Every structure is written in C-alpha cells, then in structure tokens.
Amino acid sequence: MKMPKKNSNISTGAAILIVIFALLFFVLTGRFFYIQATGKAEGQALAEIAQKKYTRETTIEGQRGTIYDRNGEAIAHDTGAYTVVAILDPDQTKDKDKPKHVVNTEKTAKELAPLLNMKEEELQSLLDKGVKKGSFQVELGPGGRDINNTTKQKIEKLKLPGITFLRDAKRFYPNGVFASHILGYAQKNDEGKIVGKMGIEQVYDKQLTEEDGKVFYQASQNGIKLPDPKESIVPPKNGDNIYLTLDEKIQTFVEDALTNAQKEYDPDNIMAVVANPKTGEILAMSTRPTFNPNVRDITNYRNPIIEDSFELGSTMKIFTLAAAIEEGVYNGEDIYQSGAYKVSEKDAPIRDHNGGNGWGPITFDEGIRRSSNVAIAILANEKLGTERLFNYLEDFGFMKKTGIDLPGEASSKLISKYPRDRVTTAFGQGSAFTPIQQIQAATAIANDGKMMKPYVIEKVVDGTTNKVKKETKPEVVGKPISKQTANEVLDILESVVSEDDGTGKAYAIEGYDVAGKTGTAQIPNPNGGGYLHGHGKNLFSFMGFAPAKDPELVVYVAVQNPNLTSQESGSAPLSMIFNPVMKNSLQALGVKPKETDEEKQKQKSTSSEIKLDSYEGKSVGDVKKELEAKGLTPVIVGEGKSIDDQFPKAAHTVISGEKVFLQTKGTPTMPDITGWSHRDVIRFTEFMNIKVSALDSGFVVTQSIKPGKAVKEGSYLVVELEPPESLSEAVEVKQKEEEVQSKEEQDSSDEKPTEPTD
C-alpha cells in the first residue's frame, strides 16, 4: 500500500513553533536568573516594592516637655483632651431605632451649645453645611476642641445620635492664672502640633518640643498584622523638662494677694517679685493685668517687670545711701535743712514730698526714714558728687541689662545732661530703670555686698533619659559695696519700718523684723506735658527685706494709679500685698518668727520647770494622766492606744502649762487647735512634718484641716489667727456651731435617707 505524502507546510509550521517556544523558554529562564541575581525588574528593586506593599507604619507619640517649679510640681504639661465630631453620613445607620448619625441638627445644636460655650445658631450652621455638602463628618468648631473628660462625660449623658469623640492632647496649666507672663502659653498650629507662643513656652520651644516615634511591621494584603512579624521601632523622643526657680506656694501667695488688691483698688498695673538674695533665684513674679494661659484671655502681653523701664521713685534712694556710706561721706547724725534744695540758682528747687514744707532742721537718718528728697539730693550733689554716684549706679547694674533668662528685657534710660537731672536720678526721678535691675541691685544690700544675677531657669532635663542637660548656678555679678556697708544700710532701712516717723510703718509684720524703703514716683502724662496729677496718680512701691539682719527674701511690690479714698495713701494697696506675701513666704521656707509679747509674758508667768520622761510604748491614758498631774497639756495625735512618738523628746525641760505632743500608733489625726498660739502651731507642724501658713497674728480661730481628719506628712495647714480679744468670741461661735451640728445629726438619725440631687 502506498503511504500518503507528508504535507510540507505542516512540518514548516511545527518547526517554527518549536523555535518560538524554545526562544520563549530561554528568554523566561534568562529573565528568571537575572531577577534572581540582581533583585531588580525594570530598574526597580523588587524587595523594596514588596516591603512597601506589606509594611505598615504606626506612630508612637512623644510628649512635650513638662515645666516644673523648684520642688518638682508640674505647672505646665500635656494632658488628655478630646475633639467633638458629628457623624453626618446616613449610611452609618443600619437600625433606625439606633441611629449612628445626626438625625436632628436643631436639637443637637441646642443641647450641645451650652456645654461647648458656643452659640446655638453657630453650631447648627456647621451641621447643616456639612449635611448639604454630603460630608461624612464635621468637627464642631473651636468650642468642640480640647475639651476635658468632665465635659466629654456630660455630652455622653445627652446620648445624642452621631456625636462621637477623637482622642487628642492639649497643653494644660493646672494653676490657671499663675506666673502667666513667665510661663507664656503653647497651643496647636494648623498642622495640629503644639508650639510655644509666649514666655518660657516660646523661648524654650525647641527644647520642649517632642519627636514622635514609629513602629514598622509586616502585614497581609488586607492589613492584618502577621504573626511573629519583623518589627522595627524608632522610639519617640520626649521634649526636655524645664525646672524653674519659682516656688508654687510662694507664687500662689503672690497671685492671691494681687487678685485681692486688684478687686479692692482697681489700679492700672500691679507688679510683684519675690527673690532669694543669696542666689538670685526668682521665687515668684506676677503682674496685673494678666491672663489664664488655658483660655488665653490675654489683656496684656507685656511683663513690665522685665520689659519696661520707668521712673522707680524713692526705692532708688537705697542705692544712693549705700554709695554714700561706702564712700565714708554719710553721717546719720549730721543736721540739714529739709523742705527744698536748689542744685543751682537757675534750677527749680527739689522739694520734699510734703509740698516742700519739710520737717525743719533734721538729721540725715531722720531724713531717710521720712524719705526726704532733699536729704538724698544733698548726699548726691555735695557729699558724694554725681560722678561718683553714677559710677556706683553702674556698679549696681543699672547701666546695662541683667541678662535674666526671660525674653524682652528692656534697657535703662539715663537722663544726665544737666546737673539737676543727675541729682534727681539719685532719688528715682528722671532716669528710667527696670524693676528687675532694681531687684538685682537689692541682692547686694541683702547679701553682704555681693550682687547676684537674677534667673528663673533652674535646670533643663532630658525628657527621655532624665539626664541634666543644663543647670544654672548662682552667679555673683558684682560687689558694689562691702559687707559692713550692706549691714549699715539694712539697719537704717529697718528703722524706716520700725520707727514712728518712718514712711514704712504699714509694712511691719509681727514676728519678723522688716527693713525696707517706700517709693512714690510721678507718672509721665501719656498726652504730653509733664506728669499726671491728683490723689493716687502715682506709681507707689515698696522694696522690703526680711528678716532684717540677714534677709532670706527680697520682695518688691508696685501699684500704679490705684483708686484710693481721700483718707488712704499708697501704702494701703501695697501693704495688702507685701505683708501677707512676705509673712507667708517666710513661713513656707521655714523661717521661724520671733516670740510675741503675749508668749513671752506667758513664759514669765510660769516658773516651774519639768523634765520629760520617755513615753514611747506607754498607754495613752496613763501618759495623759501623768502629764496633766504635772501641769502640762498633752495633745494626742491619732486614735491608737499606745504612744509611738513624742515632742519634746525625753530629758527635755518644759515649763508648766506647755503642750506635749503625743503621736499614737496608727494613722495620725488632726487635733482641735482653736486657741493655740502661733508658737504652738509652729511646734506642732514641725513635729508632724507638715507645712503651715498663718494668716494674721495672735491665736488660732480657724484651721483648714478639721479635727479628727488624717494628717499626712507634707500636708499643708492654713490657720487664721486673731488677737486675744477676738479669741473668746471665736471659741463661742465654734461651740455654738458644734452644738447645732450635733443637734442636726441627732435629728437626721430619725429620718429616712433621701436620694442625692445634682
């Protein structure tokens, strides 16, 4: 049989296909080996593409640095906050009975408006515009940002459909109006980052600012984190923490006193500074007008203590006096004619503040006590000479900035063209200086002649590692006078407060010797044409040192244009600030007051001395009977049955009638201290290791920690004292209150309990 002839076209086609497939095989194989060898395709790294596709990133938020006071109390820090969001998309609601979006914009706006401090119309407009645009959600304006947890809970109780919250953070100032011009404030910018806008927050923004961290991890295509993933973590870097020299308690004393004076006298401005003259540390500083950095209700951006120079008035006489004493040209017993004094025949006379009448021929010591302009003018012009005076003003730091670590420090303005101008500078008129320059100069008076640079930044600490990155040390910036001169100046300034003819009598504080100098400066007319005139149209000031012999504190207070009655002088608002600030600050620092006359008399009236035994471990009842039998007053602290500690200690000698403090085992409790003397209160608080602030003087009439309450170490006790004649009345009132309370408790025991109300 004859075989069919093979088609040549089919053979040719098959051959071509084989060649094509062979070529494809070699191309694909070559491509495979190329990619395997290089890891690239089309010039791109495949591993990098895969990593981007399957790698996820999460932010770890850093924290802005905290600002602390000298004792480690936070006075500016980040805190949790919430942003209110309204869901508008109807598709989010699957069950009409349980809506997940805003159903009624009018009702929602009406109920939210009072909680967000916004107008109802404004809120409804935001919601309606969002609905009209088809927005998924909207934020509810400025009132809906940075709300605290309390407000959040109130909104949640409304159970408004579609209202939810985004977790956020904000800058928080726990004390509100508190050293506001020093701290400044920080707030979010358009990118949502907290940035400093004023004060320390702005100047140290770079150090305070945090850096967020990242977590990189592998995930599946739908975003689910893979098991045992390879994670890469870039840790966050917290902002540096800043510790200030401010003392929270002392700053609070200042703020409270300034607020009270503002309400009482409504002056244009108030300034107050408390400094440690041994170191230059600023312990407190505040002004009025001021603002709350949490709400930024700013009425005054400037800190006049640092940023303004002006005529300081007679507090400048302190330094002219010091210069004259240092040069040996001051004799306090020399006599001069007070009233008026001419620098030259062509000049207008310099007059004393009582209309130029003066007080006749008086000694220079009396002239200082009376704040005589003529006395200082004679010292500056005749005895010292204005050239030497200006050299001393330069030595006292009045010719240049202090360099304090706060922004905007102003320069002084020296008026010295004419001889009369140079003389008036000696008593605080004409030339203008800043209060912080005067504080720096005052440290030399209080610190044996050594002048200390003022500062507010104690240290900067790394917020992540807690290592100190920068620390400020006390710096002596001059020694304009000797220790002997400084002490002599303090003695004379003490007489300004203690003597009947002194202008500083209003600043005497029971229990402490105060040295100081008053000041009354004229205020230039802002419309031109000389100075303002009228009762109270002055800058009244006082520079005080205490204790006078070895000052622990320098306090400067100034009040501009207070509303005074015709019977009041500038000392009224000043003493309202200075006296409680100085007294409470000294007590907060543990500076003990001197014994009062009443306490000394009490000591003299008791003659028998008793040596104490050790009572530790003994029964409370037995010890109480033993002490009472000896004429002593036992004070039981706690509710235990045996004694754990005592004060005074064993072998200590006490006088009949004296209190002996006995702490029992268990939690110590507060005794009733009504009627106690100031000395007894100090002894008790030392024994219990708690802080105390005493208002006024005399004997206790009220106490902030109620009797029977637990007393913790480090607690703060505020007591109000009254003179002896007020004590009996206070005790009677207290007894009546206790009787009424007892009766109410008895009556209430027969009644059924009621539900609490909001």
Predicted confidence at residue 218, as pLDDT, reads: 58
Say which CATH class 253-588 falls into.
Answer: alpha beta
Fold match flag (64-209 vs 253-588): no
What distances in angstroms separate CA 75 from CA 70, 283, 503, 521, one per listed residue? 10, 14, 38, 35
Predicted confidence at residue 448, as pLDDT, reads: 97
Q: Is 679 exposed, middle or buried (0-12, 13-18, 19+ CB in 10 A)?
A: buried
Mean pLDDT lowest among 473-477, 707-711, 754-758: 754-758
Contact 545, 274 (CB under 8 A): no
Share of the chain above pLDDT 90, in %: 44
Peptide bond into 648 cis (omega under 30): yes
DSSP 14-64: HHHHHHHHHHHHHHHHHHHHHHHHH-EETTEEHHHHHHHHHEEEEEE---P
Span 228-245, pLDDT tens digits: 555 566 677 889 999 999
Span 179-203, pLDDT tens digits: 999 999 998 887 778 888 999 999 9
- 445 token code pair: 């008076």
Q: How far apart are CA 300 and CA 297, in angstroms?
A: 9
Predicted confidence at residue 629, as pLDDT, reads: 86
As annotated, the active-site residues are 314
Q: Does the structure show a pLDDT above 60 at 447?
A: yes
Contact 26, 19 (CB under 8 A): no
Instruction: Report the DSSP beta bridge partners of residue 635.
Output: 661
Residue with tokens 């050239």: 387
DSSP-derived secondary structure letter, 708 = T
Strands 44-45, 185-188: pairing is unpaired
Span 277-290, pLDDT tens digits: 999 999 999 999 99
Contact 277, 554 (CB under 8 A): yes
Q: Which CATH architecture has domain 597-742?
A: 2-Layer Sandwich (3.30)
Contact 384, 322 (CB under 8 A): no
Q: Does the structure show a pLDDT above 60 at 4?
A: no
> Which amino acid is located at 124 in the chain?
Q
What distances in angstroms separate CA 318 from CA 144, 368, 491, 644, 707, one per listed residue? 54, 9, 12, 53, 48
For the chain, the domains span 64-209, 253-588, 597-742
Mean pLDDT lowest among 15-19, 240-244, 739-743: 739-743
Q: Does the structure show a pLDDT above 50 at 750?
A: no
Query: Residues 475-479: what's their mean pLDDT?
Result: 97
Instruction: Report the DSSP beta bridge partners of residue 611.
Output: 653
pLDDT, greater one: 89 or 581: 581
Predicted confidence at residue 544, as pLDDT, reads: 97
Query: Residues 548-567: what's their mean pLDDT?
Result: 94
Contact 644, 688 (CB under 8 A): no
Can you say whether the dihedral through the CA atoms of 368, 371, 374, 378 is positive or negative? positive
Q: Does the structure show a pLDDT above 80 at 755?
A: no
Please choose, from the candidates 217, 406, 373, 211, the residue with its C-alpha nearest in 3D space to the C-alpha of residue 307: 406
As a CATH number, domain 64-209 is 3.90.1310.10
Contact 506, 575 (CB under 8 A): yes
The per-residue pLDDT of the chain, averaged, comes to: 84
- 575 token code pair: 């003493």
Query: Residues 680-685: what's their mean pLDDT?
Result: 84
Residues ≥6 apart with Cβ < 8 Å to 495:
365, 368, 369, 502
Mean pLDDT lowest among 145-149, 194-198, 356-360, 566-570: 145-149
Q: How far apart are CA 78 and CA 92, in angstroms?
A: 34
Please choose, from the candidates 630, 680, 632, 638, the residue with its C-alpha nearest in 3D space to the C-alpha of residue 662: 638
